[in-house]
A and B are shown apart, each in its own frame.
Chain A
Amino acid sequence: MDFFEQQDLARRRTGRLVWYFALAVVGIVVAVYLVAWFALAMVGGYAQEPGAVNPYADSPWQPELFLMVALGTLGVILLSSLYKTVQLSAGGEAVALMMGGRLIDSMTSDLTERRLLNVVEEMALASGTPVPPVYVMDQEPSINAFAAGREPSDAVIGVSRGCLEYLDRDELQGVMAHEFSHILNGDMRLNLRLIGILHGILVLAIIGWFVLRSMPFSGRSRGGKNSGGAIAVILVVGVGLLVVGSIGLLFGKLIKSAVSRQREYLADASAVQFTRLPDGIAGALKKIGGRPETSKIESPHAEEISHMFFSSAFGSFGSQLFATHPPLADRIKRIDPSFQGEFPAGVKPVEVTAASLEAEKKAKPKPGRPFGAMLPHRAATPIDPTGVLGQVGMPGMDKILYAAMLLESMPQSLRDAAHEPYGARAVIYALLLDRDPAMRTRQLEALRPKTEELSYRETERLAPLMDQLSGPARLPLVETTFPALKKLSLEQYRRFRENVERVIRADDKVDLLEYTVHTMLLRNLDVHFGLAKPTAVRHQRLDELLPSLIRVLSTLAHGGQSDEAEVRFAFDKGMSQVERTGSVLGKADCSLARLDAALKTLAEASPTLKRQILGACAACVAADGKVTPRETELLHAVAANLGVPIPPIVTPAPAPAVPGVS
């Protein structure tokens, strides 16, 4: 089970839920109809003139009544589901703000916050996602955390104050790995649907409640002999709606909780897979059990996002059936079989000093522990010459350490600048500058009249530092600017976006790095600022996408080799990965503009298809047994467009794993 299968499974599961939901809605419609009929036929009879015939009393089947009831009920449920989904799909930031989160400043001098940001940054780079902004819920002393957002580009992470204070670095890493796997497994989207659907049913019960509450008034305002009948009708309708809505809600919550608990086990397992440090996440869970505050969240909004949390937001109370999270002890036992159910007493805050932070930076890899019992269905990843695919969404400790190393290798003033909005813009401008001095001057001249004097100076100051930056560290540097850039106001972002395009256009050619950076920025930030919607899935079949795939593979093939026979060989390697054939396009047909159009089409593929596409690209790139920096950049451009996080590619030694290549 890898990243793509997870994503697909999450989508399929949502599909099945919608199906269950449809069944439930049919049941509800029938139940509401029966209530309405009963009200009109039996109770409504009281209001009749003596001798008149109640038209409803004859038969329980009244097509006209049924039609009206069905339309009304369906309308209410659909509209309220839609409303809630739209409301929640405002993105991760909105959720974090609703929970009273305070955004941690990337330049923070608070050491516990610094440590958390370090952990998050390393983990994001290791998995190839943009670094998410991190929020603290200062008013929550318990240990808990959540991830929210529609897709990785607008994900945010929120932690409680207790989480900052009481966990050591390994435990923090475990908790963050758990949250990252929620992000990478597509759980956030699943949660959104679930909440929306449940809300639709909830509204039925609410309407019933309102009907009941309005009853005494209608009784008082009218007099006469009809009032008894009217009250009875209202009573029956109100109680009926309340009961039907409540029963529906009950089943809905059961489904939701059951799914949620499975996703939690999965996220725990992925977190261990991610860090290879079972003690970290198990330790965090034990500390939750060992503190009287447990993981309880006080905010009144906790219910709405209860299943996004690391651990139950309602403490350990409540029925198991409705619990959003499996019992703590069960979760710990799955990770640490030796656990006896005894939680540590008197958990103390962990002290973080400047020295301990410094020491953590140079930490040696801890010996990973073998583990396999937790994920029974983990199938072997199919052939993946570059080793990229198997790690998508599941980078492993070596990648985290590699990310930490990359971060360390960046000049300090670049990292500092990337951490605040003012400097982050300059970092991007400077990164886009050409190495050729004449070109660079032209780009700077284009920028000059459009930015404030000092922002321009900052760009000039950072430009020489860019030359010291190693090739593999460039795109990770871009990832680290995201939290700062997301702090721009909409107006500031619009100007920044124009300037980026100005710098790219100024040298009359768009090179690959410029293209990739531009794609990464737009894809992630436009969604955050509400200028674009997350890409929807429009293609389920590979054959619809074949022309686009051929163009992308041709570009990759031309990018890695010049000899015509080798180009064809690499291209065929890629095509054979998806069991299709085609003829390679000429180099002239592989301009960036055309590549871009092709990639935009491929971006609308389903996760399984994206997996095949990336697999084909990886095979094409690795056909000659080596991966050039240009090929790495191209692969990143493909991944950025598809919205698939790929971990940094450690440029490998010529791979013996690809036999038969001369």
Chain B
Amino acid sequence: MRTGNGIYNKLVALRNRFKNAFSQIDVQLKRRYDLIPNLVEVAKGYMKHERETLEAVIQARNQAANAGQRAAANPGDPTTMKSLGSAEGQLTGALGRLFALSENYPDLKANQNMLSLQEELSSTENKVAFARQAYNDSVMTYNTARETFPNVIFAGMFNFHPADLFEVEEAQQREAPKVSFG
């Protein structure tokens, strides 16, 4: 009985830890979603003929932001984590196409605002990746603890569901945002 209590507490602690780890991702994702409209705004001035691409970016951003909200409400849940992963993949793909096209607009590329936004975006993306690594590590610890005997019995009794990793689906022909630091 005492061991049961201990296992329960341990599982609660591990679950809370990966949830806290997700909030780190969440902070950086939000920062990223805030940056993108600014970026599109600047790009609009130069890329008059690329409305479709720009709209695709905004749409992907909105979808990702929604998925992010759902995931933050229930981190580790397989459905929300999968949809966030695929929405993030779409967004990265859309941004990649935008940056690829921007190669054709030298004025845009030289724009100071654009440069700093682009740099901040990629630094945020790295922070997301880094926080994701920490989150995935803590999910693995939780899942491993959950599956070992005798914890697995308690996990079943008290609804400790297995948690899902956060993996961004690589969109096809994705081009990573190439950042030039001058």
Contact = CB atoms under 8 A, between A and B. Distances in A.
Q: Which 9 A-B pairs have the closest CB atoms?
A: A489-B137, A97-B16, A97-B13, A489-B134, A454-B126, A103-B20, A422-B127, A422-B130, A105-B27
B38 interface: no
Nearest to A133: B20
A94 B126 contact: no
Q: Which of B1, B122, B127 neighbours the largest number of chain A CB atoms within 10 Å of its CB? A: B127
Interface string B131-155: 1011111100100000000000000
Interface of A: 80, 83, 87, 90, 93-94, 97-98, 100-103, 105, 107-108, 203, 206, 301, 420-423, 452, 454-455, 457-458, 487-492
Given A105-B23, A454-B126, A458-B123, A487 B134 contact: yes
Contacts of B27: 105, 107-108, 420
7 contacts: A97-B13, A97-B16, A98-B9, A98-B12, A452-B126, A455-B126, A457-B181
A101 B16 contact: yes
Q: Which of A101, A102, A103 neighbours the largest number of chain B CB atoms within 10 Å of its CB? A: A103
Interface residues of B, number: 29
Nearest to A210: B1
A492 B21 CA distance: 13
Contacts of A103: 20, 23
Contacts of A98: 9, 12-13
Contacts of A206: 1
Contact of A421 (B20, B123, B134, B138): B134
B36 to A, nearest CB: 18
Interface of B: 1-2, 6, 9, 12-13, 16-17, 19-21, 23-24, 27-28, 122-123, 126-127, 130-131, 133-138, 141, 181
A116 to B, nearest CB: 16
A102 B130 contact: no
Nearest to B124: A422
Given A93-B13, A491-B137, 20 more contacts: A87-B6, A97-B13, A97-B16, A101-B16, A102-B23, A206-B1, A301-B9, A420-B24, A422-B126, A422-B131, A452-B130, A458-B123, A487-B20, A487-B134, A489-B133, A489-B134, A489-B138, A490-B137, A490-B141, A492-B137
A421 B130 contact: yes
Contact of A492 (B12, B122, B134): B134
Contacts, number: 74
Contacts of B138: 489
Contacts of A93: 13, 17
A102 B75 CA distance: 13
Contacts of B141: 490
Contacts of A90: 13
B175 to A, nearest CB: 17
A105 B130 CA distance: 15
Contacts of B21: 487, 489
A421 B24 contact: yes
B121 to A, nearest CB: 12
Given A97-B16, A105-B27, A421-B131, A454 B123 contact: yes
A100 B126 CA distance: 29
A83 B133 CA distance: 33
A94 B14 CA distance: 9
A87 B22 CA distance: 26
A370 B12 CA distance: 47
* Interface SS, B side: helix
A466 to B, nearest CB: 19
Nearest to B20: A103
Nearest to A102: B20
B96 to A, nearest CB: 17
Contacts of B24: 105, 420-421, 487
Contacts of B16: 97, 100-101
B17 to A, nearest CB: 6
B131 A87 contact: no
Nearest to A489: B137
A20 B47 CA distance: 81
A492 B129 CA distance: 12
Contacts of A488: 134
A80 B2 contact: yes
Contacts of B181: 457
A420 B130 CA distance: 11
Nearest to B135: A489
B173 to A, nearest CB: 23
Nearest to B14: A97
A278 to B, nearest CB: 35
Nearest to B27: A105
B2 A97 contact: no
Contact of B133 (A97, A100, A492): A492
Contacts of B137: 489-492
B126 A97 contact: no
Contacts of B133: 489, 491-492
A487 B25 CA distance: 11
Contacts of A97: 12-13, 16-17, 20
A492 B137 CA distance: 9
Contacts of A107: 27
Nearest to A199: B2
Contacts of B28: 420
Q: Which of A80, A90, A420, A458 neighbours the largest number of chain B CB atoms within 10 Å of its CB? A: A420
A487 to B, nearest CB: 6
A467 to B, nearest CB: 21
Contacts of B127: 420, 422-423
Nearest to B134: A489
Contacts of A452: 126, 130
Contacts of B126: 422, 452, 454-455
A207 to B, nearest CB: 10
Contacts of A420: 24, 27-28, 127
A452 B133 CA distance: 13
A299 B23 CA distance: 22
Nearest to B129: A452
Contacts of A422: 126-127, 130-131
B61 to A, nearest CB: 19
A611 to B, nearest CB: 36
A105 to B, nearest CB: 5
Contacts of A454: 122-123, 126
Contacts of B131: 421-422
A530 to B, nearest CB: 11
A422 B129 CA distance: 10
A87 B130 CA distance: 31
Contacts of B123: 454, 458
A87 B9 contact: yes
Nearest to A99: B16
A94 B13 contact: yes
A636 B68 CA distance: 44
A103 B25 CA distance: 13
Q: Which of B1, B122, B126, B181 neighbours the largest number of chain A CB atoms within 10 Å of its CB? A: B126
A80 B5 CA distance: 13
A436 B12 CA distance: 50
A421 B24 CA distance: 9
Contacts of A457: 181
Nearest to A203: B2
Contacts of B1: 206
Nearest to B18: A489
B143 to A, nearest CB: 14
Contacts of B19: 102
A102 B15 CA distance: 12
Contacts of B9: 87, 98, 301
